[in-house]
Amino acid sequence: MAPPLLLLQDIALTFGGTPLIESAELSVSPGERACLVGRNGSGKSTLLKIAAGSVEADRGKRFVQPGATVRYLAQEPDLGAYSSTLAYVEAGLGPGDDPYRARYLLEQLGLTGEEEPAHLSGGEARRAALAHVLAPAPDILLLDEPTNHLDLPAIEWLESELKSLRSAMVLISHDRRFLESLSQATVWLDRGMTRRMERGFAHFEAWRDEVLEQEEAEHHKLGRKLASEADWLRYGVTARRKRNVRRLGNLHAMRAQYRDRNRAVGTVSMSLAEAEQSGTLVVEAEGISKAYDGRPIVTDLSLRILRGDRLGIIGPNGAGKTTLINLLTGVLPPDQGRVRLGANLQMITLDQRRMSLDPNATVAETLTGGRGDTVLIGGQAKHVIGYMKDFLFSPEQARTPVGVLSGGERNRLMLARALAQPSNLLVLDEPTNDLDLETLDLLQEMITDYSGTVILVSHDRDFLDRTVSSVLVSEGEGRWLEYAGGYSDMVAQRGQGVQARSVEKDAKPKAEKPAPSQAPSSAKRKLSFNEQHDLKTLPKRMTEIEAKVAKVQDILADPDLYARDPARFQKAMDTLTALQSELGAAEERWLELEMLREELEG
């Protein structure tokens, strides 16, 4: 096994007299992709800063292989010292790095390079910071919440780009699908200590539950009921997992029912006529359209939302998802068409700005409104302590001022207060922003147990798969199309992710008036940055691969190698096969681009 590029041993750090990290380990080998997981406030970001060398530990050892390059993506990047995004990205390049890659990455992330850092939005700053750390292709990438403020197209592009890199990576993210797709090992930071599993995040929750169940058994043996109760509050070990299995089955049944309903159009129409008075119809949109400054946001959309439906709205930033929600809920009038709301609707909205909280009020006062010690849930009174436990708060936190809560705890409190209000229509605009994995689990439970109707906007693919019965997808130019099922079902039906499909254009009019001297369409364009980059760098890359092939062939030239060391012989053969395949692909790509260049210049 190759020696690690980065090694942290016995790391400890104390903030304000309270130990944050007591005994943490982290090892990163060449090409390895590990995820760092743990609750909000457990010290994940701090441990990553120690790995990056920007924070010094109170105790422990940090080792980085001499010559290895490390790039760290902070949650809040600082671009203030640079005149443009291009200058910021180029500042991260080393002497031997490819300058084309800076422009290529900015282009892929939707930036021109001319943007002034002072005027960037949070999402644009995050994209520039990603280009800054990716451009040098470092040996080690340390990424803290890389998907924050990114829309789905950017998340899917980033996922693909990271998979193509040879860099070792340590990832912190609340995006389950992102972690499942990229991670090969999992490091769990819990109560100041790390545990490691040599498998990706997809296996983490089952492994975590096994560990906590073992601890729970030990706690009972020792009579440590309080510690056992604290663990249940943290993770809701066995019972929660079993409930989630049941919920998943219910969701699949709901999606099947939704598909059947859409197929039986006549039956639905008759039942709707009878159901309007009983509140079965929640929202009916007929041919609605909305545009701003000539730009279509919604074009000729017809949609019915019935009681109990869970509708997810997805699309790139700027597609008009929030505007669409406002149209469907009657906040905005459409330019054309009409929206009809069902009878007896009681709507609760949790928007991207979230509800304000009084920092001086206690947790209990926030939930009860300062009236008594009970919360009214679904017409039934529940003691505030019991309701707090549902949202992972301990009884001791009832008198805790809101102002001292962590960000994740404040998010849970806002959700608890919103869901305590009587409603039969829940509208959630980006509810997963800045939530940790445990709070996402909790929100999923609340939505799946909710008896009313849900409309939500989210960029979290896994969350959509776990909660919605159908998705409404932006197809571009104001067109929206509904698909039964979650995000993965939509991709299977649509054949692609959330990037808007191009409008097909009729070629017949062009064929009726051909231009005699018309050049081929390929001659009307230029090589893209990506193509120019590949054309320039591939010859050097092919030479490097050929040198590696020669070295492996020298090893295999030893006639006694197989008899002396069969394992080394097999490894050399596998390496040779991979290198030859890579060389063939590079040669084919270079030849294709060279022919295209000659055609364009000719």
What residue has token string 């809101």?
Answer: 402
- Residue 300 · residue 337 · CB < 8 Å: yes
Would 6-205 and 525-601 be classified into the same CATH topology? no
- Residue 327 · residue 455 · CB < 8 Å: no
What's the count of helices (H) and strands (E) in the chain, helices before strands?
Answer: 21, 20
Report d(CA 282, CA 304) in Å as an integer: 8
Report d(CA 343, CA 278) in Å as an integer: 8
Report d(CA 494, CA 325) in Å as an integer: 23
Q: 383: left (phi > 0), else alpha (psi -120 to 50), else beta? A: beta
In CATH terms, the fold of domain 6-205 is Rossmann fold (3.40.50)
pLDDT at residue 407, rounded to an integer:
64
- Residue 467 · residue 454 · CB < 8 Å: yes
How are beta strands 193-197 and 185-190 bridged, if at all?
Answer: antiparallel
Superfamily for the 525-601 domain: Valyl-tRNA synthetase, C-terminal domain (1.10.287.380)
Neighbours of 252 (CB within 10 A): 13
Report d(CA 413, CA 404) in Å as an integer: 12
**Helix extents (H) in 43-191:** 44-52, 85-90, 100-108, 122-134, 152-164, 176-182
Residues 6+ apart with CB under 8 A from 330: 339, 341
pLDDT at residue 506, rounded to an integer:
36
Counting Cα atoms < 13 Å in the Cβ hemisphere of 473 gives 28
pLDDT at residue 525, rounded to an integer:
59
Across the chain, which has 602 residues, the per-10-residue mean pLDDT values are 87 82 94 90 90 94 93 87 92 86 91 89 87 93 90 90 93 93 94 93 89 75 51 48 56 62 35 37 93 91 91 88 92 93 85 68 88 77 86 84 76 79 85 76 80 89 90 90 88 70 36 38 57 81 86 81 80 81 77 74 66
pTM of the model: 0.68
Q: How far apart are the first and last CA of the chain?
A: 52
pLDDT at residue 578, rounded to an integer:
80
What residue has token string 């301990």?
Answer: 394
Residues making up the binding site: 38-45, 315-322
Angle at 41 between CA 383 and CA 460, to 5 degrees: 85
- Residue 568 · residue 512 · CB < 8 Å: no
Report d(CA 117, CA 87) in Å as an integer: 10
Report d(CA 487, CA 314) in Å as an integer: 9
- Residue 472 · residue 314 · CB < 8 Å: yes
In CATH terms, the fold of domain 252-494 is Rossmann fold (3.40.50)
pLDDT at residue 382, rounded to an integer:
86
Residue ranges of domains in the chain: 6-205, 252-494, 525-601
Neighbours of 273 (CB within 10 A): 10
Report d(CA 81, CA 91) in Å as an integer: 11
pLDDT at residue 246, rounded to an integer:
58
Mapped onto helix, strand or coil, the DSSP state of residue 477 is: coil
pLDDT at residue 577, rounded to an integer:
79
pLDDT at residue 247, rounded to an integer:
57
Residues making up the binding site for ATP: 38-45, 315-322
